[in-house]
Amino acid sequence: MNHSMRRYAAWAMCLAAGAIVWLGAFRAPLPVSDAGPVQDSTFADGEELVYNVSYLSFDIGQVRVNLRPDTVIAGKKFHRAVAHIDSYKGIPFVDLHAVYETRMSEDVYAVWFHSRNKQDNVWRQFTYDFDYPKHLIHIHQEDYANASVVKRDTMHIDTLFQDGLSLFYFARRNVHSNKQFLVPTIVSENRGMTQINFSSKSMEEEVDAIKYDVDVVHFDGDAGFVGIFGLTGGFEGWFSNDAAQVPILARMKVILGSVKIELIKWKRAGWTPPRYGEKK
């Protein structure tokens, strides 16, 4: 891998971290789904999904996403999820480590987000606190080592938002809707509108960790802004065609080529990837 390709591989890994698996001008508040009552089991306490991230033919890192027990605040229940993003050891010019945590309403929009990132051997942490009644996001940036405040800021908002991790679950919740969504999204203090086009058509897909063709539902979309390290434009993904709606595979465009994000391990009580062509 030459220096230029290594540099783009580093960018690609950062892109995968910033978006987790999928990314996102204001519009009026959007419903989570207009496909009627949601009949799914997206939120399964203790679920863990592990993905390999590759650029061209090179494996560059791993994303591990966990669901934590729901929390109740002021009588309201919120879903919680945590993602760990790590580059593999020995990858030249790539040394990325980050932890993201989100709290989501039962309607699956972000209410709180925390990130911890290693930048130039220094750990920094950011907290976004969504205050929808006051149309504000309160942003705190701190030095993780001593908890000293680096920056305090507010951002005005006019609608419900997704962060990079809550968007992962928004997509899962709506994958069978057969609808198009324009989703207000905030990633790395950049606001934008993510377009996602869902299709309920069943199709087959292959991944190395599953020894048969998986029954999946495809979706694609477009990041309508320039994100970190130049991410913009199209992306696509394939989720399991069942009530769990587990992300199986995704591809995101970067400056040269695309990043591939593939399910390699999972822990979810009672779940087996659905086999394509098997009667339900």
Report the share of the chain in percent with pLDDT over 70.
79
**pLDDT tens figures, 29-45:** 333 334 333 356 899 99
* 260's tokens: 């591939």
Longest Cα separation, the chain: 57
d(CA 81, CA 67): 4
Residue 113 and residue 98 in contact, taking contact as beta carbons nearer than 8 Å: no
pLDDT higher for 151 or 268?
268
d(CA 205, CA 15): 24
Candidate from 60-74, 132-146, 206-220 with smallest mean pLDDT: 132-146
Residue 43 and residue 66 in contact, taking contact as beta carbons nearer than 8 Å: no
d(CA 202, CA 240): 9
Q: Which CATH architecture has domain 3-30+42-267?
A: Beta Barrel (2.40)
Give the pLDDT score at 224. 61
**pLDDT tens figures, 224-253:** 655 444 456 688 999 999 999 999 999 887
Give the pLDDT score at 35. 38
**Tokens 């990130």 found at:** 115
d(CA 197, CA 218): 9
**pLDDT tens figures, 199-215:** 888 999 999 999 999 99
Map residue 135 onto helix, strand or coil: coil
Q: How confident is the model at residue 1 (pLDDT cuts 50, 70, 90)?
A: low
pLDDT score of 3 more than 50: no
Give the pLDDT score at 242. 94
Residue spans per domain, the chain: 3-30+42-267
15: closest CA among 264, 229, 164? Answer: 229
**pLDDT tens figures, 129-139:** 999 999 999 99
* 179's tokens: 């609808």
* 107's tokens: 């309607």
* Three-state secondary structure of 170-213: HHHHHCCCCCEEEEEEEECCEEEEEEEEEEEEEEEECCCCCCCC
Residue 249 and residue 235 in contact, taking contact as beta carbons nearer than 8 Å: no
d(CA 182, CA 8): 29
Give the pLDDT score at 90. 84
**Tokens 């009588």 found at:** 75
23: closest CA among 266, 228, 246, 248? Answer: 228
Give the pLDDT mean for 72-76. 91
pLDDT score of 20 more than 80: no
Give the pLDDT score at 206. 96
